[in-house]
A and B are shown apart, each in its own frame.
Chain A
Amino acid sequence: MTERDPGTLARARFAEIVPPLLDDAYSLAKWLCRDGSDAEDIVQEAALRALKALETTVVDKPKPWFLMIVRNAAMSFMAKNRSKTIAYAGDMDDLDALGPQDGEAPPSAEETLIALEDSARLKEAIAVLPPALLETLVMRDVNGLSYREIADATGAPIGTVMSRLSRGRASLARTLRAEG
């Protein structure tokens, strides 16, 4: 093992780690940038970064590790190609001051269930979430990462992850109630 050149070793690690994670990576990239073809570019770039990193890195937990690379690749992509989406470049902690009414009473179960059937409306509401809430929500509810793993992948403290997730879900429930 030690006698193999690093390129071969990195390729072997890559082949083991990355292909099983491509559905998660593509889904994350797609919901972050809201475009399937951009998502392909992002995932390909992330794969190249991962291959390079694997020259020198041994990865304990492949899924949060690779999704972190995908998330960072998506951020560079958005900064480069979507000048209008400036929220990624800003300080995400500012967002944690938003949403003072998160704790208010939700609608009744019946109202909620009726509204929730409208998934197109929900999609729109998800699309306008602040990026920090969106990525937390996607990593949890689409990729199934734990709070700890999301904290590692996004570089946010675990309390911030909990608060973003809670606010993201509350905001979606509220949007649905307002429009439903």
Chain B
Amino acid sequence: MTDSRENLLRLNAALDGELGPMEQAAFEREMRDDPALAAEFARLSATRDAIQRAIPREKAPADLVARIAALAEPPSATVIPFRPPTPAPQARQAWSARGALSLAASLCVLGFAAGIALTSLRGLPPPPGAETALVSDFARAAIAGQPYDVASSDRHTVKPWLAGRTTVSADIVDLAAQGFPLAGGRVSVIDRIPAPTLVYRHNEHFVAVTELPAGAKPGAATVGVETIDGYHVARWSSDGLDFVAVSDADEAALGDFVAAFRRGKPHSAE
């Protein structure tokens, strides 16, 4: 390091108040005795002032401040209650004759019964892993008539809601133009880890896409569309992240969705 470079570092440190008291005192003494040093210090100081004028500290935009303040609000302020006791129409019909059970209880029982029925009808044990859990989630949500926990087509609402409850920060892709408007989000639990699920609408159907937590046990590790318990399931990986999409729409629609979702990923290579 040259002397002049050392000198420049010291000038900057003096300007930034970073010299220790002894160094600072010595520097001030030198400046008194050396007009050239004092002039150099003045120039550096002028440069610094000009930099601060050119790139001032700016105020954060109000809507950004509001969005971030919302992150600190308790969940109840922005969130639709989890599984409200409002029944799906067909559930009310099926159970009104019994009359004895509460509606909420009836939904749980119906969902459970339907799950067993679907499983046993197929006669084969379901594949283990995330897909099965997500299909159950989807079936539960469809039967309860409550496909999401937070209903919003605004990614700025859904993303922070999910981020506050899961371990990954979901990238939300806008697919309204491709016929899959965002309907909301919900939390799925896979291997006891909460994972973000985005729910898109497609005509009268839904597509629920879940970003699997790292380390989640894969089931059948196929990439493509398969059928589990009458629902279409697609699994794929993108940038090291694993996704599973479950839908009650037909296979072709799910294929279109997956293609659009992968294309829409901001960091996808495709």
Contact = CB atoms under 8 A, between A and B. Distances in A.
Given A26-B58, A142-B55, A116 B46 contact: yes
A163 B57 CA distance: 23
B160 A48 contact: yes
Interface of B: 2, 4-5, 7-9, 11-13, 16, 18, 39-40, 42-44, 46-61, 64-65, 67-69, 71-75, 156, 159-160, 163-165, 167, 169, 266-267
Contact of A47 (B2, B5, B68, B165): B68
Contacts of A123: 54-55
Nearest to A24: B57
B187 to A, nearest CB: 12
B64 A165 contact: no
A10 B255 CA distance: 39
Given A48-B163, A166-B8, A169-B47, A14 B60 contact: no
Interface in A1-48: 7-8, 11-12, 14-15, 18-19, 22-27, 30-31, 36, 40, 43-45, 47-48
B39 to A, nearest CB: 6
Contact of A14 (B2, B56, B72): B72
Interface residues of A, number: 59
A interface secondary structure, majority: helix
B169 A22 contact: no
Contacts of A112: 43, 46-47
A138 B57 CA distance: 9
Contact of A11 (B11, B16, B54, B74): B74
14 contacts: A11-B164, A12-B72, A19-B68, A36-B61, A44-B68, A47-B71, A48-B71, A80-B267, A102-B5, A103-B8, A122-B51, A123-B54, A140-B16, A172-B47
A149 B139 CA distance: 52
Which 9 pairs, one residue from A and one from B, show the smallest C-beta to C-beta distance?
A103-B4, A15-B72, A26-B60, A116-B50, A22-B60, A122-B54, A119-B54, A103-B5, A48-B163
In this complex, which of A44, A146, A163 has the most chain B Cβ atoms within 10 angstroms of its Cβ?
A44
B265 to A, nearest CB: 10
Interface of A: 7-8, 11-12, 14-15, 18-19, 22-27, 30-31, 36, 40, 43-45, 47-49, 51-52, 80-81, 102-104, 106-107, 109, 112-113, 116-117, 119, 122-123, 126, 137-138, 140-143, 146-147, 162-163, 165-166, 169-170, 172-173, 176
Contact of A51 (B18, B46, B51, B164): B164
